[in-house]
Structures are given as structure tokens and as C-alpha cells.
Chains A and B, each alone.
Chain A
């Protein structure tokens, strides 16, 4: 698989293609499945994920919605209650704040407050993350807000295989699933599996094995961490890189097993530092692995600033490879 940001070439697929293939597969396999959201039909999706699907499946199943996040996400929840399997696309995580009421107060809650009478098999997809100079209302990483909520499952596919496979796994899940697609991954190229297989979303994946420290990350930051691990290897530091894949529930077992082996951990998270997912994982490591640690835990998160527009400032606000390398070296006690 190639680095994110690389242009697609003939014979290879992009992350965007992988998501589209996952949606297409779901629509073919389950007649209860449909896609709705802003500009998913005629426009082809804000990030061109659903391009071509309207022609193939028609306007009933590829449903353009008005700009009514709360209305159409709530309608997705209602349709799921009514026996359908909706995939709802919210353009970006920033817009999802307009439907947070529906996701938290209804999707995540109805099963519980009905005493288990109703499940809500809705899939809500949204883009998140910065790097395209879209400034402070289109660039944030609020995954942790969703990962805070009991009653929903939160996924962050970082590879083509996951982007495609997690879609189907999410569709067959009887509970609400929120999927975050990092905007910098859409152009990433790779090859798609010929046959769509459901992926096990319960486990984090070790994307690079190593013995000196565990770098725990997810989504768009995975590729930065892998690049950092290569740079560290040149300096004689052998980093293990864990892709969380599922942000709720967290796979403590995989994380702790790795940290017990390497005795050092670095968390990399595009969310703001305060109250970040990194913070939650650090707390869990302290709770469960304190006596295995040889060094203080470290993290690289976004700076506490709304994402700025100019490229140099946007870059400076986000976790970047040099900062990850630097933090890893400090954790190893190296300069």
C-alpha cells in the first residue's frame, strides 16, 4: 500500500474507491440498504465517494437530502427502527454537530431507554481531519466525542481493506455505527480485495511489529506513524505501530499486550490534546500496565487551536512525522 496523498494510477484503487465498493456491495447484498446524505446522488458525494451509484441504484436508494443534518440523520435512525438498513453520510464531522442530538439522544439511547426492545442498525459515515486547508469549520477530528458515548460503535478505517470491509460489518451490526473517514486518505492508493470479506472490527491491528516502543494511533495518523517508525528504525529504534481501527469499544487487550512487551508507549491522535482519545488510552495504560512501564507515557496530538487556513500553520497544528519521531526518541531516552 502506498503513502496517503499519492495520486491514483491505472490498475490501482483509492481509499475512496474502497468506501464506494463497500457501499455498493451492501446495496447489492441487502435490499433494505440505502444511502442518503447531502449531495450523495447527482453531485456524486462531496468527496466523490458515491460517484456513479445514483445511475446504478436510482434515486430511491441513493437519496439526496436537503441541508438538514438533524432531519436526515434522525430519519436514518427512524428508518432503521422501521426495519431498513440506512447508510447516512454526513459531509464532515463539523457538520455532525447539527445532528449530535439525534446520534446521542436517540441512536445511542433508544435501545437502553426502551429496555432493550429496539435496536438501531444505522450506519453514519463522516469525513474528519485536516490537511486540505479547509480552515476551522471543516477540519476537525472530533472522534473522541463520539467514542465517549455508550450505545454506539465508532470505527476509523485507515486502510483500503478496512474502508471496504468495515462497511459491511457495520451494516450487519444491529447497533448504531459511526464511521470516520480521514479526508487525507481518500486519494491513497492500493489494491482492493477481489472478494469483500467482513472484517473483525473488534480488534486493533499491529501494522508494524517492533520491540522498543508501542505507537498507538488511528485513521490518517497511522501513515505518519509508520513513516516515523521507518525513520526511527534508521536510528536503531524498533517501534511497534498499532492501528486502533475501532475507537469504541477500545481493544485494551491488544494495546496492553503490546505495551507489556515494549514497556513504552506513544499515543498519536489528530484530536486536540485536552480530553483526547490519546488521554483516555494513556489512562488505561496507567491503570492496567503501570508496573510494566520503563518510561513516562507520551503523546502527540493537535495543537489547541482551531485549525488555521495557511498551509504552514495548518501543518504546524497537526501531528507530523518529525514530532512523532522526536517524541518517540524522548520516550527512549535518546536525544
Chain B
């Protein structure tokens, strides 16, 4: 919500198309996942990101391939926005060995060494110390790379959140903390769990540069992330962005959503990041409605191909059950 002065997103037509395209990829992928879940193709927990797409897509614009990323169990969007192949992500949802984690992780544990994508962490707050350590490694090597930790506002109640913020600030590590405040920690509303509901203020108390942005506005998120990453690369220490956002779907597929009003959900849906940005881009003359339609077709085809890839995938033989516990050649 501060004015962008540095490293502003440069909104060319191509960039506007890219932002919309990436958000739509996540949305369509996940809508398909929900459908596949009801068909029992995808099992276990499935946490949809729908509604929050602007956060992952906006932040990723500011990153380079050398930067590391730690995400949560609601990470399909981050993985796709980071550039992981959609087919491999879908195969992971199926548990097939062609999946991004060879099927061993599933929906909550998408990893990718090439993309420096360090999961997929399903312990709330558990990824934050890892991000601090990745930042420490970059600092000690003076690599110039940064690390981004994505987490929900629920993590702010965990001790690991506070330990991580303190360490990162104390050691001035190049870590970008991105809090996706969607107002509910599973089913517990922010007002019931935090004495200080303005999460960014907690970071500020650790002397970390911190701000809150409209997480439904992909351009605002990108602008904040670019400012933050610029500051990190300048060696200014960690940065904290609270993205105010909303999850349109249930926490997981088992959630009857007894804890929030339908009217509230409908109200937030009016701020859908994809529709808002699309409408704005048309009004601004950056995109033509035909282009938006074309993006829709393109994404539909990509999702269909991803499903075909996952369907054609294979099950890992049970004989391999104990592999990947220890590094090959080492006894387990």
C-alpha cells in the first residue's frame, strides 16, 4: 500500500498477458484437481489455492532462477508459478512416479531441485527455519541469491515464526517472508487466534522492513515483491510482506466450512484476482477480450495434457518401497 518507486513492474502488454496467464493456469489446474478429487483420482488432503493466485504469481515475477523458495501444503500455485511442469505436478497429485517428487510426496509435498523449490511443507511454520537456513547459506557464500518463504497467517502463532524472524533479522539474511493472510487458520478466524491481527507489525517488531499489500491485486503484490527483493539483494536484511487475501474454497476437501458465512465468501469473490486484473487490463487497453479468451483455451489445453500425462503415468513398484530414505550407497 506504499507507493512503488523502485523496481516497479513494467506493465507491457506481454507482461500483463503473462500475469493473467499464470493466474489462470493455477485456477484451471486446481478446478480440475477438485473434480479429480471427487473421482478419487487424487486422494489424501487437497488444499486449493483458488482466490490467492495473485500472491504466488506476483511474488514469482521478482525472482530469478538462482533464488530459493519454501512453500506450504497449499503450494500447487507456487509450484506452477515457479515454472514446474504442470504434467509433473499433476502426476504428483496422482501419486505416479512421473510426478515432481516421484509420487512420494503428493499434493502437500511438491519439490523441484532444478527450480530450487524446497517444498511443500505441511507443518505450519515448519518451513520458515528452512528458509532462514537457505538464506544463511546464500549470505555465507555471498551468492547474491535470495530465499522466499510463503506461509499463512496461522503460522504467525507458531514459535518457529518468531524464532525465524528473529534469526533472519539478527543475521541480516536475504529472506523474503511472504505471509498470505487469508483470514482463517484452517477454520479459526484471525480475530480468534491473534492478539495483534496486523501480522506485518510482528515482523516490524523484529526490526524487519514490513508492509501489508492487497493480495488480490497481482500488480500490487509484484510491486511489493520487487521492492523487497531489490532490498534483499542490496544486503539490507530480510523483508516481510503481508498479503491480504482470501481462500474461496474450503480449507481442504474435508471441510464443511461451518466457521464462515457464505455471504462473506461471496463478498470476497467479487475481488477475484483474475477477473479484477482481466477487467482492468482490458480497460487499460493492455489486453483485448479475445486475448483473454485465447488464454483460457491455452490453459484448458495445458490442463488436459497434464491430466493425460498423469493418467498415463505409472505406479512405482512396491519393491522400491524403501528407496530415497538415505542417499544411495548409504545403509538405512
Contact A115–B101 (Cβ < 8 Å): yes
Q: Mark B182-210, 1 if CB is under 8 A from A, else 0.
A: 00000000000000000000000000000
Interface: B249 (CB within 8 A)? no
Contact B159–A70 (Cβ < 8 Å): yes
Interface: B318 (CB within 8 A)? no
Contact B330–A173 (Cβ < 8 Å): yes
Q: Which residue of A lies closest to B175 (CB)?
A: A78
Contact B129–A78 (Cβ < 8 Å): yes
Which chain B residues lie closer than 8 Å to A34 at the CB level?
140
Q: How far is the CB of B174 from chain A (nearest CB, A)?
A: 11
Taken together as a complex, chains A and B put the C-alpha atoms of A110 and B111 apart, in Å, by 9
Q: Report the interface size class on chain B.
A: 35 or more
Taken together as a complex, chains A and B put the C-alpha atoms of A116 and B316 apart, in Å, by 14
Q: Which residue of B lies closest to A152 (CB)?
A: B326
Which chain A residues lie closer than 8 Å to B330 at the CB level?
153, 173-175
Taken together as a complex, chains A and B put the C-alpha atoms of A111 and B166 apart, in Å, by 27
Contact A72–B325 (Cβ < 8 Å): no
Q: How far is the CB of A293 from chain B (nearest CB, A)?
A: 26
Interface: A298 (CB within 8 A)? no
Contact B326–A151 (Cβ < 8 Å): yes
Q: How far is the CB of A304 from chain B (nearest CB, A)?
A: 30
Contact A82–B68 (Cβ < 8 Å): yes
Interface: B99 (CB within 8 A)? yes
Q: Which residue of B lies closest to A104 (CB)?
A: B123
Q: How far is the CB of B157 from chain A (nearest CB, A)?
A: 14
Question: Which chain A residues (102-124) contact chain B, with CB distance < 8 Å?
Answer: 102, 105-106, 110-119
Contact of B102 among A66, A77, A115, A249 (CB under 8 A): A115
Contact A68–B163 (Cβ < 8 Å): yes
Contact B118–A118 (Cβ < 8 Å): yes
Taken together as a complex, chains A and B put the C-alpha atoms of A77 and B136 apart, in Å, by 11
Contact of B99 among A73, A115, A116 (CB under 8 A): A115
Contact A70–B163 (Cβ < 8 Å): yes
Contact A70–B109 (Cβ < 8 Å): no
Q: How far is the CB of B239 from chain A (nearest CB, A)?
A: 17
- Given A117-B101, A151-B326, residue A82 in contact with residue B111 (CB < 8 A): no
Contact of B120 among A113, A116, A173 (CB under 8 A): A113
Taken together as a complex, chains A and B put the C-alpha atoms of A82 and B136 apart, in Å, by 8
Contact A81–B130 (Cβ < 8 Å): yes
Which chain A residues lie closer than 8 Å to B123 at the CB level?
101, 105-106
Question: Which chain A residues (208-264) contact chain B, with CB distance < 8 Å?
Answer: 249
Contact A114–B109 (Cβ < 8 Å): yes
Interface residues of B (CB under 8 A from A): 68, 70, 99-105, 109, 111-113, 118-121, 123, 126, 128-138, 140-141, 147, 159-160, 163-164, 166-167, 170, 323-328, 330-332
* 17 A–B contacts, CB within 8 A, in A order: A68-B167, A71-B132, A74-B126, A74-B164, A79-B134, A82-B133, A84-B140, A106-B126, A113-B104, A113-B120, A114-B104, A114-B105, A115-B101, A115-B105, A116-B328, A117-B112, A118-B118
Nearest 4 CB-CB pairings of A with B: A78-B133, A74-B129, A82-B137, A71-B163
Interface residues of A (CB under 8 A from B): 34, 60, 65-66, 68, 70-84, 86, 101-102, 105-106, 110-119, 150-151, 153, 173-175, 202, 249
